[in-house]
C-alpha cells in the first residue's frame, strides 16, 4: 500500500490550514485542531488531545527551524517557559494515568475543559490590546528576576492546561509573553512561543501515547498537511496583518467553545 493511500485528504487539508495559521500567529494549534477532530471528524476527545499533542510537537519543530533561521527565537525566554512546563506536564500525566480516559465521564471532563480553554483563548485574542494597556505598565516595574519567575510560572500553568486540553500554548502563551517582554518584537514573541511548544507538546504527546490515546494513522495524515502549512506560515509572518487573522480566529473559537460546552 502506497504512502499517499494512507493519507486522508480531509485531515491533511485541516492540518495544512491550521499549521499555516500557527506559523503566522503562534496561535491556533490545539485551539483549532482538537475541536475540529472532535466536532467535525467525530474523534474521541482523549484521542484528539493525545494525537494533536504529537502533531503539534512535529509541526512546531518545523516552525521553530524556520523561526530560528530567521533569528526570531529568544532562547532565553523559551528555556524559562520550558523549565516550568515540562515538570507540570509530567505531574499532570501521572494524574491522568489514574483515570479511564476512554470512559464517558472523562470524555465530558475533557470536552468541558477544552471548551473553557477555547473561551479563555478567544477572550485573550479579542481583548489582548486592552489587557496589555492596563496590566502592561504594572509589569514594566518588575525586576529581571521577577520577570524570569513569572515566565517560569506561566510555563508551569501551560503545562497543566495543554496536557489536559492541548489548548493554551499559543494564545495564552503569546499574551503572557507580550506582557512580560514588551520590548521584544512580535515576530520573536511568536517564534519563542512556538519553540517552547516543542518540548511541552512532545512530553505531553509521549505521555498520551503511553496512556494509549494516540491514533497513529490520523497523526500521519495531519502531519502531511501541517508541516508544509507551518513552514509557509512562518515565512509569511511579516506579510499578513496579524489583527485580521486574530479577529477571525477569536470569532471561530467562541463558536466552537459554545458547541463543546453546551
How confident is the model over 107-140, as pLDDT tens digits? Answer: 778 888 888 877 877 777 777 778 778 887 887 8
pLDDT value of residue 2 = 46
- Dump pLDDT digits (tens) for 75-100: 999 999 999 999 999 999 999 888 87
Residue 256 pLDDT class (50, 70, 90 cuts): low
107 CB-near residues (< 8 Å, 6+ apart): 44, 45, 46
pLDDT value of residue 5 = 55
C-alpha grid cell, residue 200: 511541552
Residue indicated by cell numbers 519563542: 192
C-alpha grid cell, residue 54: 504529537
Residue 38 pLDDT class (50, 70, 90 cuts): confident
| Residue of higher predicted confidence among 226 and 102 | 226
pLDDT value of residue 241 = 66
On average, the pLDDT of the chain sits at 83
- Report, in angstroms and rounded to the nearest whole number, the Rg of the chain calculated over CA atoms: 17
222 to 69, 147, 150, 231, 253: CA distances (angstroms)? 24, 36, 34, 14, 20
The rounded distance, in Å, linking the Cα atoms of 172 and 191 is 14
Share of the chain above pLDDT 90, in %: 31
Residue indicated by cell numbers 509569511: 236
pLDDT value of residue 3 = 44
| Residue of higher predicted confidence among 230 and 163 | 163
- Dump pLDDT digits (tens) for 239-253: 666 666 666 666 766
3 to 7, 194, 220, 225, 231: CA distances (angstroms)? 7, 29, 10, 14, 21
Residue 154 pLDDT class (50, 70, 90 cuts): very high
Residue 203 pLDDT class (50, 70, 90 cuts): very high
Q: Are 96 and 163 in contact (CB under 8 A)?
A: yes
The closest of 96, 51, 33, 64 to 230, measured between CA atoms, is 64
| Exposure b/e, 141-167, CB count within 10 A at least 16 = b | eeeeeebbebbbebbbbbbbbbbbbbb
pLDDT value of residue 27 = 66
Mean pLDDT across the stretch 45-68? Answer: 88
Q: Are 168 and 174 in contact (CB under 8 A)?
A: no
Amino acid at each position: 500500500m502506497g504512502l499517499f493511500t494512507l493519507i486522508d485528504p480531509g485531515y491533511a487539508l485541516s492540518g495544512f490550514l491550521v499549521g499555516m495559521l500557527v506559523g503566522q500567529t503562534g496561535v491556533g494549534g490545539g485551539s483549532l485542531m482538537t475541536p475540529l477532530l472532535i466536532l467535525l471528524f467525530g474523534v474521541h476527545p482523549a484521542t484528539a488531545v493525545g494525537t494533536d499533542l504529537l502533531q503539534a510537537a512535529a509541526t512546531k519543530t518545523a516552525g521553530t527551524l524556520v523561526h530560528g533561521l530567521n533569528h526570531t527565537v529568544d532562547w532565553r525566554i523559551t528555556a524559562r517557559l520550558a523549565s516550568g512546563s515540562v515538570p507540570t506536564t509530567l505531574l499532570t500525566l501521572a494524574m491522568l494515568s489514574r483515570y479511564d480516559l476512554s470512559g464517558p465521564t472523562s470524555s465530558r471532563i475533557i470536552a468541558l475543559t477544552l471548551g473553557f480553554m477555547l473561551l479563555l483563548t478567544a477572550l485573550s485574542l479579542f481583548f489582548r490590546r486592552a489587557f496589555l494597556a492596563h496590566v502592561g505598565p504594572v509589569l514594566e516595574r518588575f525586576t529581571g528576576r521577577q520577570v524570569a519567575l513569572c515566565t517560569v510560572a506561566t510555563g508551569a500553568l501551560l503545562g497543566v492546561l495543554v496536557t489536559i486540553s492541548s489548548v493554551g500554548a499559543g494564545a495564552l502563551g503569546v499574551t503572557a509573553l507580550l506582557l512580560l517582554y514588551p520590548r521584544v518584537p512580535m515576530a520573536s514573541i511568536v517564534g519563542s512561543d512556538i519553540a517552547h511548544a516543542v518540548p511541552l507538546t512532545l512530553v505531553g504527546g509521549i505521555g498520551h501515547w503511553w496512556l494509549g490515546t494516540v491514533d497513529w494513522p490520523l497523526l500521519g495524515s495531519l502531519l502531511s498537511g501541517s508541516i508544509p502549512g507551518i513552514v509557509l506560515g512562518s515565512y509569511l509572518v511579516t506579510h499578513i496583518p496579524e489583527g485580521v487573522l486574530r479577529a477571525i480566529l477569536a470569532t471561530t473559537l467562541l463558536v466552537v467553545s459554545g458547541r463543546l460546552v453546551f
